[in-house]
Each structure stands twice: as C-alpha cells, then as structure tokens.
C-alpha cells in the first residue's frame, strides 16, 4: 500500500503513515508547529484547546510505553477526548477484524486513530478503509514510525541548528527497526550529507533497500567523525531466529561506550528512541551524559504528536 493517500489534493495532511513520500516542506511544517507548541507550553503551561470536542482513539496492538503515553498527553493537552482502546478485552479477541473495529469506532464519531501494529502496512490499510477519520501510524512492523522520525529530526535541529550537511550513524538492529527506516527518510528529506547504518551482519538490512546509505559492520568506522549517533535496541520480539548474541560480547563490539564515542565529533549528539538496554547497546554513562539527547527526544515526542494531530484534525 503506497502512502500517496496521506496528503490530500491540496497538499494538506490527511493521514500520517510514513515520512517516505512526505515532501520536505510538509516535514518542516510539522517540526515548526511542534517547536511553536513547545514554546507556548513552556511559557504558559497550557495551550489553546485546538482539539476541543474531538475524539482520538489509541489502538495499540503492540506494547508501548512512551509512544502511547506521548500521543495520549498530546491529544489531552490540546483538549481532545482520548480513548485508550484495550485490545486484550476487546472484540478483537472475539475475532473481529481491525477494519471492523475501525468502522465501529468511527460510527461513534471518533476523529483520529493512533495505530501500532506488528504487521507492516496495517495503518495504511486502515487509512484506505477510513470514511472520515485520520489515521496516525504509531509504528507498523519494521516499516515506519513517522512521529519517532519527526521527534528525532526536531532533537537534531535543536541541538545542531540544522540537519543539512550532517553525518549520521545509526547503529544496532537496523534490520528490524521501523525507527531506522523513518529516520533515514526524514534525514534524507532534510538534507543530511551521509547516513551510515551499522550493526552485526544478521541485524543489517539488505543493501538494496538503502542504496543511498553506507552499510558497515565495524562500529568504529561507522562512528568516525559522525555529528549524530542514533543507537537502537535489538528488537528480539521481531526476530524469528535470533543469532547467538550474548549481551557482553554485543556490548564489546557494538555498545556505545565513552571510548567509542570519542571517534565521533567531540560534540556529537547521542540519541536512542528507547527503550534503552543499559550495558548492551549503550553504556549508562553515555546514555546519561552531556551529549545524550535521549530525554529531549521523549519531550519532543509530545509536541510533534500535537502538531500532527492539530494538522489532521483542525479542519
Ligand atoms: C521503538 C518502537 O517501538 O519502534 N520505540 C519507540 O517507539 N520509542 C523502538 C523499539 O522498540 O526499540
């Protein structure tokens, strides 16, 4: 399913399914709106209730801490009603299809659905079925996680002043990561100079999927002079045949330690979408260190989700 449907004929956002296919102006408009909402929130501790009277349904078919909470807070702080749909106790467990769940909740005048699903393409499929409601992808399989891509771009833009011209290393389990895929699309759209994808061979993607990225299994080479280092967790729940990787030897070869970080630029930004595994892909002192933007990423998440919800629902 293509993503053409996420923009309407006037170029306005109709759904948010992936950063691929979103033009640079659309991405920058979302980042600018997020930064404006953040400034207002930090100055006044409240925001205009742009979503008053609107209903947002969180449909999470996969575990989530930060993304679900972040969408929930974003919607509520703009005045929306939020329903956190409880999949385990829902009719999904009685055999109802996701499309029928959507139709049922749309019949109750839900305006937006925030969808996380283990199958690639579920949000796009729901967007094709939605009569009026907007669909926001909160992560589908290893395909896309657009709001994570946006919050990462915002963190980079804040701390580096720009994305244009930067060298970015993304390290860890690239193969199973929707975050890596959305980051690559966003970084490319905003003009990053080079993107290196690094990890052990079984966790690297097929080179044909990323023709414009360097693929590297040597972490020290990948980090060389990087402006931004994005670390990823090994996504065990998405790996059918887990290669023999014990945490200590993984950390020794692919963990971001202080010593290894020294290969990047002295002011390199360290990022991680969370959840972090301390002492596996990232050393605790690096995760908590001055170069880390991990909690800025989390903070930004609420504002990029506000920006997306507002653009989709303010009609
Ligand atoms: C990521 C996800 O679920 O895609 N987490 C997140 O949303 N912040 C990454 C992960 O699970 O490792």
Residue with tokens 């929130």: 41
Atom from ligand 1 closest to the CA of residue 301: 8
The closest of 104, 58, 64 to 84, measured between CA atoms, is 58
Residue nearest to atom 12 of ligand 1 (CA): 233
Q: Of all residues in the chain, what percent carry a pLDDT higher than 70? A: 97
Pocket test of ligand 1: the residue of 58, 60, 67 to mutate, having most ligand atoms within 8 Å of its CB, is 67
Q: What's the sign of the alpha-carbon dihedral 27, 162, 67, 251?
A: positive
Lowest mean pLDDT among 158-162, 237-241, 311-315: 237-241
Cα–Cα distance between 138 and 113 in angstroms, integer? 10
Q: Rounded to the nearest whole angstrom, what is the distance from the C-alpha of residue 275 to the centroid of ligand 1?
A: 7
Is the model's pTM score more than 0.75?
yes
Torsion of the alpha carbons at 120, 123, 128 and 133, rounded to the nearest 10: 180
Span 136-150, pLDDT tens digits: 999 999 999 999 999
Q: What is the pLDDT of residue 4?
A: 45
Q: Say whether domain 146-293 belongs to CATH 3.30.70.1450.
A: no
CA 112 to chain CA centroid, Å, is 18
Domain boundaries for CATH 3.40.50.1370 within the chain: 4-144+298-313, 146-293
The closest of 173, 180, 114, 169 to 143, measured between CA atoms, is 180
Would you say the CB of residue 139 lies under 6 angstroms from ligand 1? yes
Q: Rounded to the nearest whole angstrom, what is the distance from the C-alpha of residue 298 to the centroid of ligand 1?
A: 11
Span 228-287, pLDDT tens digits: 999 999 988 777 776 667 889 999 999 999 999 999 999 999 999 999 999 999 999 999
| Second-level CATH architecture of 4-144+298-313 | 3-Layer(aba) Sandwich (3.40)
Distance between start and end Cα atoms, the chain: 26
In the chain, which ranges are continuous DSSP H helix?
Answer: 24-44, 66-77, 98-106, 122-129, 146-160, 178-189, 219-223, 247-254, 258-261, 284-287, 294-313
CA 243 to chain CA centroid, Å, is 26
């Amino acid at each position: 399913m293509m993503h053409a449907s996420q923009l309407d004929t006037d170029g306005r956002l109709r759904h948010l399914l992936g950063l691929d296919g979103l033009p640079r102006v659309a991405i920058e408009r979302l980042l600018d709106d997020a930064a404006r909402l953040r400034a207002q929130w930090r100055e006044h501790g409240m925001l205009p209730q742009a979503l008053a009277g609107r209903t947002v349904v969180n449909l999470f078919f996969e575990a989530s801490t930060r993304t679900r909470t972040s969408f929930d807070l974003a919607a509520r702080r703009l005045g929306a009603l939020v329903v956190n749909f409880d999949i385990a106790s829902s009719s999904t467990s009685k055999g109802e299809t996701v499309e029928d769940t959507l139709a049922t909740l749309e019949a109750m005048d839900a305006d937006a659905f925030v969808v996380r699903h283990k199958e690639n393409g579920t949000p796009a499929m729901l967007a094709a079925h939605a009569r009026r409601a907007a669909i926001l992808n909160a992560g589908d399989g290893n395909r896309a996680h657009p709001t994570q891509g946006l919050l990462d771009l915002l963190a980079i833009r804040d701390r580096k002043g720009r994305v244009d011209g930067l060298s970015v290393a993304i390290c860890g389990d690239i193969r199973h990561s929707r975050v890596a895929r959305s980051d690559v699309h966003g970084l490319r759209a905003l003009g990053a100079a080079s993107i290196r994808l690094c990890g052990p061979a079984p966790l690297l993607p097929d080179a044909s999927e990323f023709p414009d990225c360097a693929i590297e299994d040597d972490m020290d080479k990948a980090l060389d002079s990087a402006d931004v280092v994005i670390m990823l967790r090994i996504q065990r729940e998405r790996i059918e045949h887990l290669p023999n990787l014990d945490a200590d030897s993984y950390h020794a070869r692919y963990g971001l330690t202080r010593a290894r970080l020294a290969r990047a630029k002295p002011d390199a930004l360290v990022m991680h979408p969370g959840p972090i595994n301390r002492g596996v892909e990232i050393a605790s002192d690096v995760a908590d260190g001055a170069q880390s933007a991990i909690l800025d990423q989390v903070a930004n998440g609420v504002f990029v989700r506000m920006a997306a919800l507002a653009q989709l629902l303010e009609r």
